[in-house]
């Protein structure tokens, strides 16, 4: 079996307990070296044979994994963040299906959530945003017409944008064609949870200039939305979950 494992956003302690165990037990590890810290691999898989997939093709990756499985070795395919979010695992799983090789997927902490943690920010807040959209702008990889950022921006929800910081001006332009205004808060978190993480906060009016001045052009999450006002301006409303007048299965509310 091949185990697809989410390594988390960078901090070696943010890998799941199960992911860390599978790494320790692995004979062969194929890891995304352009994004996953090699020190994480060395910390948990000291005795494994390690391949850096950043210089490999899909075919070469499959050859390594299939060969290891054929020789009775335990294989971990280590991806950054969570494999289900821009993880490019579907084509790998399809290739393993063709070869009759079993696999499973172990989720991880995606960088969107690590960025929210760095900002100390909830992405869903009552009466501000109850929807989070995870997306990217079109680059080398096209996106469906209906999912162009300018179309998605019409929702006015919390936007979490991956793989797009090098095109920050375009991100701003597309957001402003939708439900957002120049004063809408925006934040960029580069290398969230890494020792050298960077945070840039502003509005759609000035975030592009701030990001360019900071020299951030990769490995960053862009967050746009009114939820980012909460720490500066206070909450517009609070959840009823802990309201003393609210009854639910586990607590009887006190009438007010």
Per-residue model confidence (pLDDT) at position 248 = 65
Domain at 111-233: CATH architecture: 2-Layer Sandwich (3.30)
Superfamily of domain 2-106: Tetrapyrrole methylase, N-terminal domain (3.40.1010.10)
Q: Which pLDDT does position 35 carry in this prediction? A: 86
| Among candidate residues 86, 58, 108, the one with its CA nearest the CA of residue 219 | 86
pLDDT-wise least confident of 88-102, 202-216, 236-250: 236-250
DSSP states along 177-245:
TTT--TTSEEEEEESTTSTT-EEEEEETTTHHHHHHHHT--SSEEEEESGGGGHHHH--S---STT-TT
Mean pLDDT, range 154-162, rounded to an integer? 97
| Alpha carbons 66 and 225: distance in angstroms, whole number | 44
Question: Looking at per-residue confidence, does 252 or 142 come out higher?
Answer: 142
Q: Is the pLDDT of residue 245 over 70?
A: no
Would you say residue 193 has pLDDT above 80? yes
Helix axis angle for 168-176 and 207-214, nearest 10°, is 170
Say what the pLDDT of residue 190 is. 97
Residue 247 predicted with pLDDT over 80: no
- Starting at the earlier edge strand, list the strands of the sheet with 28-31: 49-52, 28-31, 75-79, 2-6, 103-106
Mean predicted confidence (pLDDT) in 176-185: 96
Confidence band, pLDDT 50/70/90 cuts, at residue 212: very high
pLDDT of 250 > 80? The answer is no
Q: What is the mean pLDDT of residues 54-74?
A: 97
- pLDDT level of residue 34 (50, 70, 90 thresholds): confident
Average pLDDT, the chain: 92
Q: Mean per-residue pLDDT for 83-90?
A: 94
Instruction: Identify the top-confidence range among 15-24, 226-235, 236-245.
Output: 15-24
Fold agreement (2-106, 111-233): no
Average pLDDT over residues 221-249: 78
Name the band, by pLDDT with cuts 50, 70 and 90, for residue 39. Answer: confident
- The whole-number pLDDT of residue 31 equals 95
Domain boundaries, the chain: 2-106, 111-233
Contact criterion met (CB below 8 Å) for 221 and 192: yes
Sheet containing 220-224: order of strands: 132-136, 158-162, 220-224, 185-190, 198-203
- In angstroms, the Cα distances linking 101 to 69, 79, 220 are 8, 19, 34
145 C-beta neighbours (distance < 10 Å), count: 8
pTM: 0.90
For residue 237, the model assigns a pLDDT of 66
User: Quick one: average pLDDT of 189-216?
Assistant: 97
């Amino acid at each position: 079996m091949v185990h697809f494992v989410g390594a988390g956003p960078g901090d070696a302690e943010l890998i799941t307990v199960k992911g860390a165990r599978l790494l320790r037990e692995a004979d062969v590890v194929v890891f995304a070296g352009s994004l996953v810290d090699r020190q994480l691999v060395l910390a948990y898989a000291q005795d494994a044979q390690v391949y850096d997939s950043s210089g490999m093709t899909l075919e070469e990756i499959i050859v390594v994994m299939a060969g290891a499985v054929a020789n009775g070795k335990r294989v971990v395919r280590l991806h950054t963040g969570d494999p289900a979010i821009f993880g490019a695992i579907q084509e790998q799983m399809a290739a393993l299906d063709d070869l009759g090789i079993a696999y499973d997927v172990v989720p991880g902490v995606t960088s969107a959530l690590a960025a929210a943690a760095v900002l100390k920010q909830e992405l869903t807040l009552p009466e501000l945003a109850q929807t989070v959209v995870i997306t990217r702008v079109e680059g080398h990889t096209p996106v469906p017409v209906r999912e162009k950022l300018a179309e998605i921006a019409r929702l006015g929800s919390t936007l979490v944008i991956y793989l797009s910081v090098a095109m920050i001006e375009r991100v701003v332009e597309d957001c402003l064609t939708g439900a957002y205004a120049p004063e809408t808060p925006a934040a960029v978190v580069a290398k969230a949870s890494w020792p050298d993480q960077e945070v840039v906060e502003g509005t759609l009016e000035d975030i592009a200039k701030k990001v360019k001045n900071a020299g951030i052009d990769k490995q960053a999450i862009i967050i746009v939305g009114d939820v980012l006002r909460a720490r500066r301006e206070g909450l517009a409303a609070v959840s009823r979950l802990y309201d003393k007048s609210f009854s639910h299965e586990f607590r009887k509310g006190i009438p007010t």
